[in-house]
Every structure is written in structure tokens, then in C-alpha cells.
Structure 1
């Protein structure tokens, strides 16, 4: 009984640590946005998304180097993409006054579009790596440079778009007496807590998989991805309470871009050969599910639906939920 309970206790501690650091990230990120004059969408896309994705980065690198669990690394990165898009459902439900898709910046379509390209490419590269179309330089997959280049292009395009569409205005003053230096230090402190907890997660995930007899593909995609997505969850709720919905959306979509970049970093860190060749092809289900969910988000941003079932949830959120549940069940059945 103790042997079964202890890994779950460690898992809970990791989740609590990550959850406590999340609100500090959004508070300090908002102060940085107001003191520097940068938009909340841009801060969410780059600064907040990078920080909240640190658990996926540390977990992935630790999984391939220290634990030799490539399925956990890939499942965590792709599973986090699906979790991030699922949080749009939460945002929609919590947006009581007005449907969420009628109040957020159209610029998120650009980031979501690059998400479709990156996540879809990752799924295709995974399938191609399973057969004769796989190629490599030393131990690194030949597809990894493409992921890195597309990510850099996406971030650059988002920056140019923000600069082109943002109307010039004076720098806003942050509430209270907090300085830019203190906000930056608070941001770094919260990020450090996330790094520590994220480093611990792959070891805990491996223990849970062994104790419960679960497949590492399932554990990486659902359990570890859920834990490492706790910062995005906390940040999303905190941003909504702050009235910074665009920062929340930018953080979720930006985290998806960064999560695919993490696959490239994990591939470089994995010394036994191309990472995507060493994992279950079932991970492609998660990648394509995230691609479909990104497409649904883009449709919703253009269509801007008003109707809700029972005044609570719209057809967009229902569609996202259905895709998530179907992909999770498929991964549970097919993963190994």
C-alpha cells in the first residue's frame, strides 16, 4: 500500500509547487507588460508561455537523459498541447458576461495558424521517422532543424504583427510601487520553482507507471502532461480574473509553439538516435488531435459564435472536448 501511495504523494507535491508559482508569473508578467509598453498578447506569447512551458522542457530533457523514457518526453510535449487547448473550454465557461470568442484579439489567429503548422508537422515527422523516410545527422533527426526554423519564424511573425497593429501610446504605470527590476526578479523566482518541480516529474511519472502497470505513452500524454500544464491552468484562471484574457490566450497558444520546440531540444539531448524513431507511433494521434483543435479555434475566431447550450458552453467548447476525450481514449488503447 505504501509503495503505491508514495509515488502519488510525490506527484501531488510537484503539482502543488507548480500551482503556487503560476499566479506569481501572471502578476509579474502583467507588471512587465505595463512598464515596458508591450502588449499583453505578446507578453503571454513569449514571456509567460516560455515560463509555463519550463516544466515540459525540464521534464523532456530529464526523461531522455536520466530516465531513458522517450515516450514520456514526447507524450508530455504533445499531450501538453492538447491540455492547453482544452483550457480554452475553461476560459469559455468562465466568461459569463460575453462569449469569449467575441472579445479577444483577432491576432491570435496568426499564432494558432503557426500552431497548426508546427504541431501537424511534428505528427507527420513522427510517422515518417518510423520508416525508410527517416534520416539523421549524427544522432539528431533531420527533421529537427525544420521545427526550430518554423518556431523562430512564428515568433518573429507574431512580433512584427504586434508592432504593426499596436497603436502607439504612453507606457502605462504599474499598480503599486513595484519596479521593473522587482517584477523581473519575481518572474525569475517563480520560474525557478517551476524548473525544480519539473525536473522531478519524469522520475515520479516513471514510478507511477511501474507501480500502476500503466504504459509510458499513456502516462506521458495524460498524467505528466497534465501536471506540467498546471502552470498554464493557474495562469489562465489568474489572467481571466485580472481581465487579461488576451494574455491567457497568448500564453496557451505560445506554449503550444514552445512545446513543439521542446521536441527538437529533446531530440538533440537524446543520444541514442532520432527521438521520434524511438517512440510509439500512437503519439501521432495526440499531434493530429491538437492540430484539429487548433483549427477549431481558428474557425471560432473567424465565426465568433454567440449561442451557448444552457447559457454555459458553446459548440466550439463541446467540439474541443470531444476531440480531447477521443484522442485520450485512443492513446490509452494504442500506446505502449
Structure 2
């Protein structure tokens, strides 16, 4: 059994490795997208959102396949959805020219709407699974193939919308990385991926140790700490996009990551052999799902209403609501799970 200090040090190491490796993953993923002709297209943007969600995927696989901590797996997925939406608040605060909602394309409402649908469907099935009688195919919950289907429909719909209504998100990408070849980028991408995978595989074990030593429930640790650690790449990439003025890429990465995170929930369910995953986890995760839905709803309102005013010259009222909902979710999860 690790000591408490040792457990927190290991968590910090995992955080640093995932953060640094995640940034490199995103960078070289962008290079690969460019060199293969995908840079600046819908496929490139989806690739970025998928790449930054790699830590959640690996952590979930480790949690259900090796560490036997289903609450950490589910908490990581839904906690990441909530934290990703909090990133919009960071963007609004850092973008001093005007409110970020006035610059972002209203086309993001489509992916946000699918996010509400997927997250809501996951939360709905969490409540249905409370009595442990969730219908299943062998050990896989009946909700899993439906999540996969909804995700596929969402990707197809967003692709068709982008093709018909929006121009390429990034122009002139072919000249951004003249000093790197596709082979070099691929090798460095693989090295960064290995670092992220190693740290993410170990993270559930560290989270379980912290939960035990701190006498916290695994759902709280997964929702708050593990989710924060695995969301560091999204934060870094989104801020990086903001620095070059790519507001739509920043918002798209956040909302796209949330869609992929719910798909990860389905993947975790397939790999969790004792039975339907949601039948073996705490109902407190439904609180996080509802929080993510409300936060996405606030984001949709902000994108449509496009408020220009800032509260005390800091962030818009929509961002203030997002931050308040994040704090409320954290507080309720702590009370509910402990």
C-alpha cells in the first residue's frame, strides 16, 4: 500500500506526463493531418478532438480491464465532459478582444445538440441501471450499440453540415510544418502516444489508492481528479488554438471531445466483463451527466444569443453560469459520493 504522499506524487507525475505527452500528441497529430491532406478540413478537426481524448480512452480501458474500478472509468468520462465545458470559460476569460460567444460560429450548436443527446442518454441509462436489471447482450448493456449508432449519426450529420455551410477552418495549412516529414511526425506521434498510454494505464490504480487513503468514493476521485488529469490535452490544445485566433477550432475541439468521450463509455462497457458497466457504478454519476447537459445547454444559449457584455470585465454571463454549474456539480458529487 502506497503512502498518501507517494500516491499524490504519482498522481502529479501522471498529470505531467499526460499533459506534456498530450500536447505533443495534438501537435504531431495536426502535422500528420496536414501531411496526409487532412489539415484544415472537417476530418482534421475531428482527428484533433479524438487525439486529445486518448487519455480518457486508455484510462477507461485500464480502469475496467485491469484495475477493476468501473466508477473511475465512468467518472473520468463524464467528469471530462464537464471539465471540457469549463474550458469555454477559460477561453472567454483569455480572449480579451470581445466575448468568445460573438466570434464562434453558430454551427457549433449542432455538435452541442448531439452532445446533449448522448450525455442525456447515458444519464438516463444510469438511472435505469439502478436496480441492476439493465437488459444486455451477454455482458454488454443494450445502451452501448445505441450510443455507437447515435455517435455515427452525429459524425455524419456534422460532416454534411460542415461541407454545405462552412468553409475550411484553417487555410494555408500546407506551409505550417515545412521542417517535418510525415515519417518524422509519425514516429514522434508514436513516442508521445506511448508516454500518454503508460501514464493513463497507471492513473486508475493511483486514483484507487487515493480514494482508499483519503476515504473518498471512487466516483468522486474519477469525476474530479482523474477527469482533470485526462483533460489536460484538451485544455492545452484549445488554448493553443485561441492563441492563433482559431476560435472555431478551439470550441470545436471541446464539443467534439465530449462526443467522443461518450463513445468511450460504450467502449468501456464492451470491455467490462462482469456485466453492463452502468449497473456496477454509483448513481451519483447521473448528477454529473445532468450537470454536463445543463452546461451544454448554457453554451448553446450563449452561441445563439451571442452576449457581448462581460461581468466585471472578466467573462460573459454565460461563462459565469458555466463556472457556477461546474462548482455545484463538484460540491454535490462530493456530498453524494461520500
Q: Which moved more, 1:247-256 or 1:158-167?
A: 158-167
TM-score by length of 1: 0.93
Match of 2:242 in 1: 240
TM-superposition CA deviations, 1:37-94 (whole Å, max 9, x none): 64366533x2122111111111112111211111111111111100000111001000
301-310 vs 238-247, which moves further: 238-247
CA contact (8 A) 1:283 1:335 kept: no
Whole-Å separation in 1 of the counterparts to 2:148 and 2:131: 22
Structure 2, unaligned stretches of length 5 or more?
Answer: none
**Structure 1: which 5+ residue stretches go unaligned?**
none
Q: Does residue 271 of the first structure (1) align with residue 262 of the second (2)?
A: no
Looking at structure 1, the residues matched to 130 and 162 of structure 2 have their Cα atoms a distance apart, in angstroms, of 39
**1:155-199 superposed Cα distances (whole Å, 9 cap, x missing partner):** 111222222234488874324333344444444433332222111
Give the TM-score, by structure 2 length. 0.92
* More deviation, 168-177/10-19: 168-177
Task: After TM superposition, list the pairs within 5 Å mapping 1:1-336 onto structure 2.
Answer: 3-32=3-32, 34-35=34-35, 36=37, 38-39=39-40, 42-44=43-45, 46-131=46-131, 134-167=134-167, 172-335=174-337
Q: String of CA shifts for 1:224-282, please: whole Å, max 9, x gaps.
A: 11111111111122222232222222211111111111111111111111110111111
Q: Secondary structure at the match of 1:27?
A: helix
User: Cα offset for 1:122?
Assistant: 0.4
Whether the aligned pair in 2 keeps the contact of 1:51 and 1:191 (CA below 8 Å) is no
Root-mean-square deviation over aligned CA pairs: 2.1
CA change 1:297–1:127 in 2 (3 A) is same
Taking the aligned partners of 2:96 and 2:33, their CA distance within structure 1 comes to 26
CA contact (8 A) 1:72 1:224 kept: yes
Match of 1:129, SS state, is: helix
Q: Secondary structure at the match of 1:317?
A: helix
Contact 1:75 1:221 in 2 (8 A): yes
- 3-state SS of the aligned residue for 2:16? helix
Taking a change above 3 Å as real, the CA distance of residues 172 and 65 of structure 1, as seen in their structure-2 partners, is closer
1:333 positional shift: 0.9
Provide the rounded CA distance (Å) in 1 between the counterparts of 2:132 and 2:148.
Answer: 23
Distance in 1 (alpha carbons) for counterparts of 2:184 and 2:109: 33
Answer whether contact 1:43 1:247 (CA < 8 A) is retained.
Answer: no
- 1:130 is paired with a residue of what secondary structure? helix
Structure 1 stretch displaced more, 88-97 or 192-201: 192-201
Q: Partners in 1 of 2:217 and 2:38 — Cα distance?
A: 47
Indicate conservation of the 8 Å contact 2:309/2:316, yes or no.
yes
Equivalents in 2 of 1:212, 1:40: separation in Å?
46
